[in-house]
Amino acid sequence: MESSQLAPGPLNHVALPSANPEATAKFYCELLGFEQTPRPPFSFRGSWLWRPETKVMLHLIHDADHQPALEEPINTRTHHVAFQTSDFDQCTQRLTAHNVDYVVRVLPDYGYRQLFLRDPDGNVIELGEWPSPEIMLSGSPSE
């Protein structure tokens, strides 16, 4: 019997709007360790970024109408890109040293720390010390 469900594979990339993809690419490369990669000659500006350890690409897509709301508090409950970190304290130190605002939260019942920051275009990024989804979902928070 054939399934009617689609069968997507692993995550390939996340596309983010950018008013200034060149400046935002610099932020991701210098602060978060991404590398700029070749990009097809599209009719619009943008950047493709890669971080080999995550096996995920970020595509920054120029949007002249994009208006970052950087003066507002960081909304931790909006759409965001989340990355696992093995050294939460080093992340907070590095962000503080680069004068990047962030908000720290603790995952209820699990106790894992998360921090949320914004890129220069206002896209929210989460860095968390949680384990892999397989481990997190394998039992109760107390296990």
Helices in the chain by DSSP H: which ranges?
21-32, 88-97, 133-136
**Residue 78 near residue 124, CB atoms below 8 Å:** yes
pLDDT for position 137: 81
Query: Could you give the CA distance from residue 80 to residue 126 in angstroms, rounded to a whole number?
Result: 7
Query: Could you give the CA distance from residue 43 to residue 77 in angstroms, rounded to a whole number?
Result: 33
Question: Containing H/E element for 139?
Answer: none
Query: Could you give the CA distance from residue 26 to residue 40 in angstroms, rounded to a whole number?
Result: 19
Query: Among candidates 99, 130, 98, 132, which has minimal Cα distance to 114?
Result: 130
Read off the pLDDT of residues 17-63 as tens digits, 9 standing for 90 and up. Answer: 999 999 999 999 999 999 999 999 999 999 999 999 888 899 999 99
In the sheet that 46-51 helps form, which strands lie side by side, from edge to edge? 13-18, 56-62, 46-51, 35-37
Query: Could you give the CA distance from residue 65 to residue 71 in angstroms, rounded to a whole number?
Result: 17
- Give the distance from CA 100 to its chain's centroid: 15
Query: Could you give the CA distance from residue 50 to residue 56 in angstroms, rounded to a whole number?
Result: 6
More reliable by pLDDT, 143 or 85? 85
Query: Among candidates 91, 69, 94, which has minimal Cα distance to 82?
Result: 91
Read off the pLDDT of residues 57-111 as tens digits, 9 standing for 90 and up. Answer: 999 999 999 988 888 999 999 999 999 999 999 999 999 999 999 999 998 888 8
